[in-house]
């Protein structure tokens, strides 16, 4: 277990997406006021990917990003194949919207899993 000086920033950076979710309704309303079609989820995904990279480099034996990118790429290929061959229509707006939400779920599961692993290893 590290010192409190080393653990507090890690806990703070790890909790930022969850704290942002708490205020997501208010933030989304602010985006609507200035006519931006961005949701809080769209902003959290790059932050979670960056923090997963940092956590992987500092505290884990393996880098999680290649596995994350391979899984979201395979899901994108499967989703595009489904829309192209089964539905006979590939609407890019619908495809990217659904795919981005799936990317969020995969990133969130990986992010929570990395946090649980850090607790298990005694880093936090």
The domain segmentation of the chain, as residue ranges, is 4-121
**Smallest Cα–Cα separation from 97: which of 77, 76, 78, 66?**
76
> Mean of the pLDDT values across residues 102-122?
86
Residue 3 has a pLDDT of: 67
Residue 79, pLDDT above cutoff 90: yes
**pLDDT for the residue numbered 91:** 87
Closest CA to 20 of 52, 49, 38, 43: 43
- The pLDDT confidence band at residue 4, using thresholds 50, 70 and 90, is low
Read out DSSP for 45-96? HHHHHHHHHHHHHHH-SS-SHHHHHHHHHHHHHHHHHIIIIISS---HHHHH
- Residue of higher predicted confidence among 38 and 71: 71
Residue 120: what pLDDT? 82
74/48: higher pLDDT: 74
């Amino acid at each position: 277990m590290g010192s409190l000086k080393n653990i507090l920033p890690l806990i703070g950076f790890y909790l930022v997406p969850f704290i942002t979710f708490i205020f997501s309704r208010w933030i989304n309303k602010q985006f609507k006021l200035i006519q931006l079609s961005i949701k809080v989820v769209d902003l959290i995904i790059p932050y979670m990917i960056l923090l997963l990279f940092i956590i992987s480099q500092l505290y884990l034996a393996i880098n999680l990003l290649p596995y994350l990118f391979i899984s979201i790429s395979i899901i994108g290929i499967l989703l595009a194949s489904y829309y192209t061959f089964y539905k006979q229509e590939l609407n890019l707006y619908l495809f990217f919207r659904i795919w981005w939400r799936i990317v969020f779920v995969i990133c969130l599961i990986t992010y929570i899993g990395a946090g649980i692993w850090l607790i298990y290893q005694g880093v936090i």
